[in-house]
Structure 1
């Protein structure tokens, strides 16, 4: 059996050894950081007023906490993605930073500071690094090239920067998850935060609609939309209510939970699950129920694809559970409307499916006119075409062209080639195998659901984009870690 690498005991703080490594360099870097922070704080306070100053103080406190323990920053990113994805700071300084911007920025900043000060002497990478970098460069080129098609606003610039930040987060995840202890803790946090979102979604669905709406309207204080926010099938109050938790959109909630549900699936049959069995069943059960209550056909299809990947590749014992879940879905009264929508979707009879078919045709028209690099992220050059289609692959091809889509496939292809080519090594490591299966299944589920929706590459859904690439980073890290442990063993 492979030897498990234990997390090093010394270093109570991540940056504790910076001065010991290079005191002069560290002092200059710290002085520059403090000076730059003071100047920036003065500018923000002068132009943005007291609210902006308060927000800046919150940002500094957050950065200080993350500086003392960067892992808290990772947990913060996961918590915001799952529980407060659209929350913003109550300040507008030309742009309105979100909680996720703050959390991601703090982690990235502290990670970079560790490299600059010499606290981190090496950088752990994986084969996915090169194609991912190419994908980011193509995105930047498409963004610049497409500015002639629309106005460059601070909001567009911020959202595109958020996209790059989420893509670059993969490098940091791979570098940070150097030990099994760190990787397992990260996965635990993802599972618990996802369960929290699912439980909230179920509770809000069970409560009277007026009560749920009143509770959700409290979130307007942190930038959430107000008014009547309850969602229904086909936006028709005569039809069933859809679970939204704090994700605003039921399809986006379903997309998040299908990936986390796929991640949790192997834990049901793992010899050494991350949590006690009763808690594992509670996690999987609550996520499954909430996915059903979103009435998102794409999410359910993605969850089935993710769990199917697990069952076919190794845990064939999951097949009875999947069949049992399918039978339960058929028998539940709440599922009858759900099943009817599935049938209507397959037959192309319902309004949502018909609209999708129209979007697909319009997207293909746009791609046919601008096939190479797309039209960018700012807008379209022709008045008879538009950006936006319920398909992640067509979305990428619209804004980044066939070149961008091929670069995306190169990233995903490299990830799975890297993982599957070392499958035997991971299969022999019982402690990592369930994590490997779950993480790759989560990506398979997300890619399958991407056939029917675009939230995994949409500037309006930064948290969904971050969730997907976070899982890509973790999937890459688990393969790298298994390979590393096999060499040590």
Structure 2
């Protein structure tokens, strides 16, 4: 539970608590002399992704670096996933984890407001094209060190928190959490992240279709939120359709280079975590040795480039499988609360799917851990929803 709270606040503290959790789980199994793990329907797909990603290391320009990166990151993700799957057994535990996640997201957004209203100047950080947006000097990033990462986090947590609202009965609780959702939304405006703004539209549409058509009226609130960000917010929105925008041009160039990587190494890719090492050989746009490009600004291309097409298919199977399980519980849930939570998980995963078209927030360790945490919570919820999750089911 400490991992869920500290995840967006501090990677170091999160890592300590994750290690403690893994150690205590191991001690428990040694003392009881029993392998205390539960099988899930996703184990095969996860195992394939883990093994294939490991195989991709041999294609890396620097196998030593890729090996280190692979073992330290993959171990985090798998450990977190199975800790959640094997230790959340009741609705009360699930509620506590979600409460901590919502609380930490509040702290993250409050720090974002602090940055915005104290005029944090980001003009020297190359996050904005000064020629396109000369008046945009402040983009909040809070504890996640990058506006796009913060935006992705806020969309995910707004989706999850809205799901909790949908499952509540008391008007007072609904109002309180609705205020939190509004706070997350306003902080999202201050990130000036265009891709995340599109993702939040998708989240609203999902809730409007599957929960209440009245929520379509929320689309009218978005212009009001944009006004809070002054006219620079509107400029950012309109720039989505501007082909001369340098950010858009850079992404198109990166995608072309990444497709070339995939074409050259379709099976194993360029190696786990080695995109930044391989990119200079495919660079035709930047031509600056001092500039390091860490990912393709497209989730699907980035995963395929580093782990090959089989790695991408396995990753998509994991994402789709958990999203489908959450959707099934959302529409067939035995309780209003669980249905609301799972609809929130579906919306959160959908935001990752849509956001992945123009960015790759899962490149960040904290965001990837959040992805695996959500997947684990979906499986834990399925166990709570059904008597035996080990029994295969149809999506």
TM-score by length of 1: 0.70
Q: CA deviation at 1:229?
A: 7.9
1:14-163 matched pairs, under 5 angstroms: 74-75=1-2, 77-85=3-11, 98-118=12-32, 122-143=36-57, 145-147=58-60, 149-150=61-62, 152-153=64-65, 157-158=68-69, 160-163=71-74
1:291-440 matched pairs, under 5 angstroms: 291-320=188-217, 322-330=218-226, 332=227, 334-377=229-272, 378=274, 379-380=277-278, 383-384=281-282, 388-426=295-333, 428-440=334-346
CA distance in 2, matches of 1:303, 1:381: 31
Q: CA deviation at 1:280?
A: 0.7
Residue 448 of structure 1 is matched in structure 2 by: 354
Secondary structure in structure 1 of the residue aligned to 2:278:
coil
Cα deviation 1:425-457 (Å, max 9, x = unaligned): 31x41121111111221111122111111121x
Residue 464 of structure 1 is matched in structure 2 by: 367
Secondary structure in structure 2 of the residue aligned to 1:325:
helix
- For the 8 Å contact 1:341–1:350, the answer to whether it is kept is no
Cα deviation 1:186-242 (Å, max 9, x = unaligned): 0111111011101110122101438xx9xxxxxxxxxxxxxx987753367742310
Residue 166 of structure 1 is matched in structure 2 by: 77
CA distance in 2, matches of 1:163, 1:273: 41
Secondary structure in structure 2 of the residue aligned to 1:317:
helix
CA distance in 1, matches of 2:74, 2:128: 30
- For the 8 Å contact 1:269–1:315, the answer to whether it is kept is no
- For the 8 Å contact 1:380–1:387, the answer to whether it is kept is no
1:245 corresponds to 2:171: no
CA distance in 1, matches of 2:375, 2:150: 19
Q: CA deviation at 1:164?
A: 3.3
CA distance in 2, matches of 1:273, 1:287: 21
1:200 corresponds to 2:106: no
Cα 1:234–1:374, aligned 2, differ >3 Å: closer, same or farther? Answer: same
Number of paired residues?
A: 375
Cα 1:172–1:481, aligned 2, differ >3 Å: closer, same or farther? Answer: same
* Unmatched runs of 5 consecutive residues or more in structure 1: 1-73, 86-97, 214-227
Cα 1:234–1:83, aligned 2, differ >3 Å: closer, same or farther? Answer: farther
Q: CA deviation at 1:266?
A: 2.8
Secondary structure in structure 1 of the residue aligned to 2:240:
helix
CA distance in 2, matches of 1:245, 1:134: 35
CA distance in 2, matches of 1:231, 1:286: 27
CA distance in 2, matches of 1:341, 1:146: 39
Secondary structure in structure 2 of the residue aligned to 1:209:
coil
Q: CA deviation at 1:113?
A: 2.2
Cα 1:356–1:455, aligned 2, differ >3 Å: closer, same or farther? Answer: same
Of structures 1 and 2, the one scoring higher in RCO (CA 8 A, sep 6+) is: 2
- For the 8 Å contact 1:306–1:444, the answer to whether it is kept is yes
RMSD: 2.8
- For the 8 Å contact 2:129–2:247, the answer to whether it is kept is yes
- For the 8 Å contact 2:155–2:188, the answer to whether it is kept is yes
Secondary structure in structure 2 of the residue aligned to 1:152:
helix
- For the 8 Å contact 1:163–1:462, the answer to whether it is kept is no
CA distance in 2, matches of 1:261, 1:368: 37
CA distance in 1, matches of 2:27, 2:345: 29
Q: Which of 247, 260, 268 matches 2:157?
A: 260
Q: Bigger radius of gyration, 1 or 2?
A: 1
CA distance in 2, matches of 1:237, 1:108: 49
CA distance in 2, matches of 1:254, 1:156: 30
Q: CA deviation at 1:274?
A: 11
Residue 89 of structure 2 is matched in structure 1 by: 178
Secondary structure in structure 2 of the residue aligned to 1:484:
coil
- For the 8 Å contact 2:167–2:338, the answer to whether it is kept is no
CA distance in 1, matches of 2:381, 2:46: 18
Cα deviation 1:84-119 (Å, max 9, x = unaligned): 24xxxxxxxxxxxx3332222122222222222228
